[in-house]
Amino acid sequence: MEKDRLLLCTVLVIFSIPGIWTNTDEASFHDLEGKAFVFPKPSADSYVLLKPKLDQNLRQLTLCLRFFTDLTRGFSLFSAASRDHDNEILLFRNPHDFEMWVGGEYVSFSLSPLLEIFHLRSELVCTTWDSATGIIQLWLDGQRLPRRGAMKGYEVKTDLVVMLGQDQDSYGGKLDVKQSFVGEISEVYLWDKVLPAEELTDFQTPITPNPKVNWTLLKFEIRGYVQTELL
């Protein structure tokens, strides 16, 4: 009896953490080539959960994605929380800069007003981090911004809850409508290595094999109001 109660409690606890261990079987692989996730409205409960298969802590990473929005406030693009840090990996866009977080520390990449002469178009952003040097790169439409660095010697944990379209302020939760993404996200890739500059300059079809997140073989679950639409 005791054992059953314990099991029930464990199950309840696990299932009460939103969207983490539940429904893992429902997530299957999809080829999203030529498609985008559309986040049609601001919300605190709509997002895409990604399921990267990480066997060991990350000492390097490259994250790439394309986004298209007319938001004028800040918003989260990619949020990976671990039990240790809500912002284990976070790519956040403010009106005038990008923030890239690793292990709870962030660097900011200012966008020159010249770069920003306003025309509404999608932006392809890639960011890399290397534990050995701490160096963080941010590439915007194939151009590298001046490099920064954080969390030298750190290892990114593997117990990640990975979301597109929301910023987690706790492990798997505390989502904030004011930081939610509205618009379109596509071409999401994550590697456990730093891609060479040649590939980041001209990121058409990714070459480096075995990405942990692969847009054309994507394991994901949609929560709330997010649609998969043709580009």
Ligand X SMILES: *[C@@H]1O[C@H](CO)[C@@H](O)[C@H](O)[C@H]1NC(C)=O
Closer residue to ligand X (CB): 165 or 206: 206
Q: How far is the CB of 217 from ligand X (least distance, A)?
A: 4
Q: How far apart are CA 204 and CA 15, in angstroms?
A: 39
Backbone torsions φ then ψ of 215, nearest 5 degrees: -60, -30
Tokens 């999608």 belong to residue:
122
- The nearest distance, CB 231 to ligand X, in angstroms, is 18
User: Is position 209 an interface residue for ligand X (rule: CB under 6 A)?
Assistant: yes
Q: 3-state SS string over 12-52?
A: HHHHHCCCCCCCHHHCCEECCCCEEEEECCCCCCCEEEECC
- Binding residues with ligand X: total (CB under 6 A): 7
Q: How many angstroms separate the CA atoms of 131 and 225, rounded?
A: 36
Instruction: Decide if residue 34 touches ligand X (CB under 6 A).
Output: no
Kindly tell me which of 9 and 217 has the beta carbon lying closer to ligand X.
Answer: 217
**Is 217 near ligand X (CB under 6 A)?**
yes
Whose Cβ is closer to ligand X: residue 134's or residue 211's?
211
The separation between the first and the last C-alpha atoms of the chain, rounded to the nearest angstrom, is 55
Q: How far is the CB of 209 from ligand X (least distance, A)?
A: 4
In the chain, alpha helices (H): 2-16, 197-201
CB 31, min distance to ligand X, A? 7
- Is there binding between residue 183 and ligand X (CB under 6 A)? no
Give how far Cα 9 sits from Cα of 14, 16, 23, 121, Å.
9, 10, 18, 49
Q: Of the ranges 104-112, 115-123, 167-175, 204-212, which one interacts with ligand X (CB under 6 A)?
A: 204-212
The residue ranges that bind ligand X (CB under 6 A) are 206, 209-211, 214, 216-217
